[in-house]
A and B are shown apart, each in its own frame.
Chain A
């Protein structure tokens, strides 16, 4: 997993509440058995005018000019600004895979769905919760200034605007540590092999039917 430390990124706004993972990556693309290549199909049904299927040459498909991420001013964005309950619905990790493959490294919203939030951290993607009124301010500023960027510092847990406003955000110490260093969870967990085996030995005594 790629580490996340600091990001000075162009911001793209997605002004909708309850953006679900079916919208982030529609089901037909879940048939892939790979972990990569989902970026061109992120927000597929909103982004293109035709119906997308796996295997299409996405560069030749008609873009929906009304979809915000298709506007030239947001090309190259790495920070997605979103509304409440972002990433609700299905547990598909294809959603963070698609966002990351698209080029996003951080998502800012007033709230996230739990499974999606958790999946982001496994993929070097930082979900940031900021109060609704701050998010509202960021939407206004993004809209007002072309090329609007935010400076995100995970170590300091801050988001800084071009005008010098600095907003602090919360993140679990353990998640932060692993993301800062790009650590692989399984590698860390296998250091606890003795504890896991001890738990199993005890549990086999207490609840033998679970191991029958």
Chain B
């Protein structure tokens, strides 16, 4: 048999039917559902008198609209409240498992899926959310879909797909201290651009990836979509299997052994052909900070805001000029001189326990050295990815560290990543954010987002401007 990529294997194992032009009916094992992209799908099922094909394949939770404080008071915004109540009602009517807002397991879909063992190696997993690529960290074929496809999966357990090309992003070498998975993926996007992975599934490989925790791999795959790739992938290894062990949804009994044997096959074969290969040297990656309105507008902490006059082409030149205007930045400004008004630590990219530990370590350093959240920083939010992450962090005392250092410790949800709830930037406010998109208006109309790792965000909070966390922690 010809050597196959991991993507080939996942694809091959889910083919139901192939049309003459290659359009494939692909079986979907797992479906995560949240309140924003599902109501019209349920409505479609109702109008056509259709049922769900396989109720057990769905796990639902509200995350985008939920408040992150004073949750007992309910949702103040009536439009948000209606959307969350609509999800509750739909899950009840169709018999779906839902972790509702008051459930301690509630959280961001992309955090709770892995946490529950709902996400597993070798599955196809979809969600009406582009950051579904996150789950590829488990060697699952996972990608975001629109609402029509949400309805389609509910009704048929399948999707019509054309096979993507396969790209290998190989990152070798040891990451320097203070440099994280977030910095790797931002560096990758800086290299290949936000459309660099379009039409591809990206497999991340190399020694630097193997050395990452599952949390780090999730951060990496989460932002594959920001490189244009619907799916990110990391091959199975012992770390993957160890993460799965004992999770509520993990295979049990003799199924465990069978599953593990299958999971171990989920790697790209020696000599498998990729359509594109990108290589990065991990030892050269510095903490990354975005300066513009697209994740590809990124540089190292020791860099400067670029000059549009030096852009590679006229389209980019116009793009950069507009971005600097929106961001209120001047060309050649050192990144370390950019002051921030707010700090957001959270989102499906960086709200897992390891992310909170990394941020808390910086906060602890601050407390030891007489520093708290800087006076110029109006708000520094820490929003755990799920109720269980929150509980774990509290058991470790991280909440106390954050609170003592001047951060606000919140309840789980998407929060200020996209500001569908009350957490947002006001026009002109500048934010160091651990989220995934620095688009215009993403965190609130007129808001200015700089994407960074959790440690870098915490350091920016303590100093009031971006600093090199490697030097701070030295």
Contact = CB atoms under 8 A, between A and B. Distances in A.
B146 A89 contact: no
B255 A91 contact: no
B148 A93 contact: yes
Interface in A1-44: 15-18, 20, 22-23, 26-28, 30-35
Nearest to B161: A118
Given A92-B37, A192-B25, A196-B156, A119 B255 contact: no
Contacts of A96: 146
Interface stretch (A59-67, A108-116, A155-163): A108-116
Contacts of A113: 195, 198, 228
Interface stretch (A70-78, A98-106, A142-150, A201-209): A201-209
A195 interface: yes
Contacts of A94: 147
B130 A196 contact: no
Q: How large is the interface on A (under 10, 10 to 19, 20 to 34, 35 or more residues)?
A: 35 or more
Contact of B156 (A115, A118, A190): A190
A110 B151 CA distance: 30
Given A85-B194, A203-B27, A114 B230 contact: yes
Contact of B155 (A31, A112, A190): A190
B17, B225, B420, B439 — most chain A CB neighbours (10 Å): B439
B146 A33 contact: no
A47 interface: no
Contact of A93 (B37, B259, B319): B37
B203 interface: no
Contact of B255 (A33, A55, A122, A209): A209
Contacts of A54: 79
A16 B194 CA distance: 14
A155 to B, nearest CB: 16
Interface string A42-56: 000100000100110
Contact of B146 (A27, A30, A92, A175): A92
A174 interface: yes
B283 interface: no
Nearest to A52: B445
Nearest to B36: A30
Given A84-B195, A115-B146, A189-B158, A27 B418 contact: yes
Contacts of B255: 208-209, 212
A92 B48 CA distance: 22
Contacts of A31: 36, 65, 77, 79-80, 82-83, 420
Interface stretch (B107-115, B121-129, B210-218, B458-466): B121-129
A117 B198 CA distance: 11
A90 interface: yes
Contacts of A83: 315
Contact of A174 (B19, B64, B147, B225): B19
Contact of B21 (A34, A92, A174): A174
B428 interface: no
A30 B420 contact: yes
B39 interface: yes
Interface string B434-472: 000101111001000000000000000000000000000
A173 to B, nearest CB: 4
B145, B164, B322 — most chain A CB neighbours (10 Å): B145
A210 B445 CA distance: 43
Given A27-B418, A54-B79, A174-B23, A192 B40 contact: no
B245 interface: no
A189 B37 contact: no
Interface in B220-235: 225, 228-230
Contacts of A112: 198
Contacts of B262: 207
B50 interface: yes
Contacts of B158: 189, 192, 196
A71 to B, nearest CB: 19
Contact of B441 (A26, A174, A175, A200): A26
Contact of B440 (A23, A174, A186): A23
B29 interface: yes
A149 B232 CA distance: 40
A88 interface: yes
Interface string B156-200: 111010101000000000000000000000000000001100110
B29 to A, nearest CB: 6
Given A22-B440, A54-B79, A113-B228, A196 B27 contact: yes
A15, A85, A94 — most chain B CB neighbours (10 Å): A85
12 contacts: A16-B318, A16-B322, A27-B420, A28-B420, A30-B64, A45-B441, A172-B23, A189-B156, A195-B17, A196-B157, A207-B258, A207-B259
Q: Top 10 nearest A-B pairs by Cβ distance?
A: A93-B146, A209-B251, A33-B39, A122-B148, A91-B144, A119-B146, A173-B21, A174-B23, A209-B255, A85-B195
Interface of B: 16-17, 19-23, 25, 27, 29, 36-37, 39-40, 43, 48, 50, 53, 56, 64-65, 77, 79-80, 82-83, 86, 120, 122-123, 128-130, 132, 143-149, 151-152, 155-158, 160, 162, 164, 194-195, 198-199, 225, 228-230, 251-252, 255-256, 258-259, 262, 294, 315-316, 318-319, 322, 418-420, 437, 439-442, 445
